[in-house]
């Protein structure tokens, strides 16, 4: 212990008691609502409090650092029923304001989001109807909200039309199919929608577990009908998604990730670092490629420098797939905080925490014109970079 840092005064066990400041500790401060004129100021003040409030405030700070880093490629990953929960336009804002450059999602989230983007509605669950009654009435319950079976039937007709226009020799993957859906929405709908915004901003949207969704089932139904009529079914290759995402990540200087929930989207996006590492050591070096073509460390050593996650579950419940950011360091997925990594993990319902974090960040950006310009210029560069990949 460095006693030169210890203040004079009372001792405990032979050591002088510290006052916090001598160890460069940051004090917590009372939340004075009279000084909080907007959501940005509120979250800044919350970051100096404790518990979930501090975590939420720190999430805004880390996200702000992530999006204003001119060299940081930001990946959004989302799980849970966020489009049924009406968070779709929050995602649109993130895309349209240039805050994210790629998205990884569950298939169900994209399916319900596509329903919404075509102008159809979801409804509040009426607890006077039990689940058996809901089934026969054509209502599919998602927690406290209802999807209409008719909505999904109508979506399948659109999918049939889109897939019917695809050349039979085309090999599809989730990001390619989502691009087709975004193109359809851009041409046939007036409102906003996730895949429509992604299409216009050249943002690839990956669904690693594509068959675990209504859209995946629609794809399967289309192929069955094609086969029954003597046609050739379309081919879907999920490995194209992994290779496509890996090629894009390999070109980036720094990476950031903003995660809602956990599950497959979070892990799939994070495993790109270990994947590149394995490509180098298990494939390229074992094939003696290094001797013929020197391998640059920076091309195969990619970790996330920033991370923000909003998820109410503790690790052991499985929603996080058992992986905190600290644990991710051991897998080569994240830059340690000791080397400059910045993380924030918020244990809160995303329908509460996510809009607050986003609104605070947008207000902060609007107050800082220089940082806003950095975000806009980065977004333009990313769109140009994506020309060869979209």
In order, the DSSP letters of 312-347 are: -S-GGGSTTTT--HHHHHHTTSB--GGGT-EEEEE-
Alpha carbon separation from 192 to 60, 142, 146, 177, 189 (Å, rounded): 25, 22, 21, 19, 8
> Tell me, what's the pLDDT at 109?
96
- CB contact set of 293 (below 8 Å; sequence gap of 6+): none
> Tell me, what's the pLDDT at 281?
87
Q: What does the pLDDT look like over 176-231, one tens digit per residue?
A: 999 999 999 999 999 999 999 999 999 999 999 999 999 999 999 999 999 999 99
- CB contact set of 157 (below 8 Å; sequence gap of 6+): none
Cβ-based neighbour number of residue 228 at 10 Å: 8
Decide if 236 is inside a domain.
yes
> Domain span at residue 342?
36-44+72-388
| Statement: residue 88 has pLDDT above 60 | yes
Tokens coding 43: 């979250």
Decide if 21 is inside a domain.
no
Tell me whether residue 107 is exposed, middle or buried, using C-beta atoms within 10 angstroms of its C-beta: 0 to 12, 13 to 18, 19 or more.
buried
Beta bridge partners of 12: 15
Residue pair 360/60 in contact by the 8 Å Cβ criterion:
yes
Decide if 61 is inside a domain.
no
CATH of the domain at 374: 3.40.910.10
Q: What does the pLDDT look like over 7-24, one tens digit per residue?
A: 556 677 778 899 999 999
Cα separation, 231 vs 208, in Å, equals 27
Domain count, the chain: 1
Q: Mean pLDDT throughout 371-376?
A: 97
| Statement: residue 291 has pLDDT above 90 | no
**Residue among 363, 346, 375, 372 at smallest CA distance from 100:** 375
| Statement: residue 90 has pLDDT above 90 | yes
Q: What does the pLDDT look like over 341-362, one tens digit per residue?
A: 999 999 999 999 999 999 999 9
Decide if 15 is inside a domain.
no
Q: Provide φ and ψ at 141, rounded to 5°.
A: -85, 135
Q: What is the DSSP string of 204-242?
A: -EE-TTTTSSHHHHHHHHHHHHHHHTT-PPPEE-THHHH
| Residue written as token pair 């949207």 | 205
Confidence of residue 1 (pLDDT cuts 50, 70, 90): very low
Cβ-based neighbour number of residue 283 at 10 Å: 10
Q: What does the pLDDT look like over 225-277, one tens digit per residue?
A: 999 999 999 999 999 999 999 999 999 999 999 999 988 999 999 999 999 99
Tokens coding 369: 């014109």
> Tell me, what's the pLDDT at 28?
96
Decide if 3 is inside a domain.
no
Cα separation, 32 vs 44, in Å, equals 11
| Helix (DSSP H) and strand (DSSP E) numbers for the chain | 17, 13
> Tell me, what's the pLDDT at 290?
57
Q: What does the pLDDT look like over 132-188, one tens digit per residue?
A: 999 999 999 999 999 999 999 999 999 999 999 999 889 999 999 999 999 999 999
Decide if 271 is inside a domain.
yes
> Tell me, what's the pLDDT at 294?
72
Higher local confidence (pLDDT), 263 or 125: 125
| Statement: residue 2 has pLDDT above 60 | no
Q: Provide φ and ψ at 302, rounded to 5°.
A: -120, 125
> Tell me, what's the pLDDT at 3?
46
Confidence of residue 292 (pLDDT cuts 50, 70, 90): low
Decide if 8 is inside a domain.
no
Cβ-based neighbour number of residue 80 at 10 Å: 23
Residue pair 184/164 in contact by the 8 Å Cβ criterion:
no
Q: What is the DSSP string of 14-26?
A: TEEPP-SGGGTPP
Decide if 12 is inside a domain.
no
């Amino acid at each position: 212990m460095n006693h030169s840092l210890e203040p004079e005064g009372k001792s405990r066990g032979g050591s002088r008691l510290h006052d916090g400041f001598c160890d460069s500790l940051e004090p917590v401060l009372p939340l004075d609502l009279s000084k909080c004129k907007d959501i940005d100021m509120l979250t800044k003040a919350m970051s100096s409090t404790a518990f979930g409030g501090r975590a939420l405030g720190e999430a805004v700070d880390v996200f702000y650092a992530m999006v204003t880093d001119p060299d940081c490629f930001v990946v959004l990953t989302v799980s849970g029923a966020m489009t049924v929960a009406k968070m779709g336009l929050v995602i649109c804002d993130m895309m349209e304001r240039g805050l994210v450059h790629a998205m990884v999602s569950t298939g169900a989230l994209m399916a319900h989001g596509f329903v919404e983007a075509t102008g159809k509605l979801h409804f509040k669950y009426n607890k006077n109807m039990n689940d058996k009654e809901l089934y026969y009435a054509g209502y599919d319950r998602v927690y406290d909200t209802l999807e209409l079976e008719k909505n999904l039937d109508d979506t399948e007709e659109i999918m049939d039309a889109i897939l019917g226009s695809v050349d039979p020799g085309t090999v599809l993957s989730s990001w390619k199919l989502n691009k087709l859906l975004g193109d359809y929405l851009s041409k046939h709908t007036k409102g906003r929608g996730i895949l429509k915004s992604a299409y216009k901003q050249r943002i690839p949207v990956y669904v690693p577990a594509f068959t675990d969704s209504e859209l995946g089932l629609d794809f399967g139904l289309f192929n069955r009908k094609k086969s029954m009529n003597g046609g050739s079914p379309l081919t879907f290759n999920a490995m194209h998604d992994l290779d496509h995402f890996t090629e894009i990540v390999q070109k980036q200087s720094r990476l950031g990730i903003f995660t809602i929930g956990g599950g497959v989207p979070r892990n799939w996006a994070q495993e790109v670092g270990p994947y590149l590492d394995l490509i180098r050591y298990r494939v390229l070096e074992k094939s003696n490629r290094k001797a013929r073509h020197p391998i640059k460390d920076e091309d195969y050593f990619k970790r996330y420098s920033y991370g923000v996650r909003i998820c109410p579950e503790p690790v052991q419940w499985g929603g996080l797939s058992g992986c905190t950011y600290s644990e991710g360091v051991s897998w080569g997925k994240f830059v340690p905080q000791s080397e400059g990594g910045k993380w924030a993990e918020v244990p809160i319902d995303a329908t509460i925490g996510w809009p607050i974090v986003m609104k605070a960040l947008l207000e902060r950006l609007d107050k800082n014109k220089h940082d806003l310009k950095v975000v806009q210029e980065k977004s333009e560069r990313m769109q140009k970079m994506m020309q060869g990949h979209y």
